[in-house]
Amino acid sequence: MTPKQDSILLLLLLLLCSVLSPVANESYAVVFDAGSTESRVHAFCFDPDLNLVPIGNDPELFMQTYPGLSDYANDPKLAAASLKPLLSEQNYSSAAAPKHSC
């Protein structure tokens, strides 16, 4: 990836974190793994004592897409498009709507 693409991805991840953290005392860790066979995003919520708190009914928010980036080695635009579902706010809004404050 180019430095510009790295910056755009970082900005998108920061936006994702802001969507997932509407309350000040919540902390989230987001792991974005754009792999060769599949791409995944994991988000974890922590309370102020850094205890893991469920997101909805699950211990984490998880999404994945197939195939991985290696299938798009000759088409960077398709590679980027394959990651969009993992970065889309609408895919996280309902899952991340807090049932309680972390």
pLDDT digits (tens, 9 = 90+) for 24-37: 577 888 888 888 88
pTM over 0.95: no
pLDDT for the residue numbered 100: 46
The pLDDT confidence band at residue 78, using thresholds 50, 70 and 90, is very high
> Could you tell me the residue ranges of all domains in the chain?
3-96
Q: What is the pLDDT of residues 28-77, one digit of tens each?
A: 888 888 888 899 988 888 888 888 888 878 888 888 999 998 899 899 99
Burial class (CB in 10 A: 0-12, 13-18, 19+), 26: middle
Higher pLDDT, 37 or 2: 37
Place of tokens 């309350």: 23
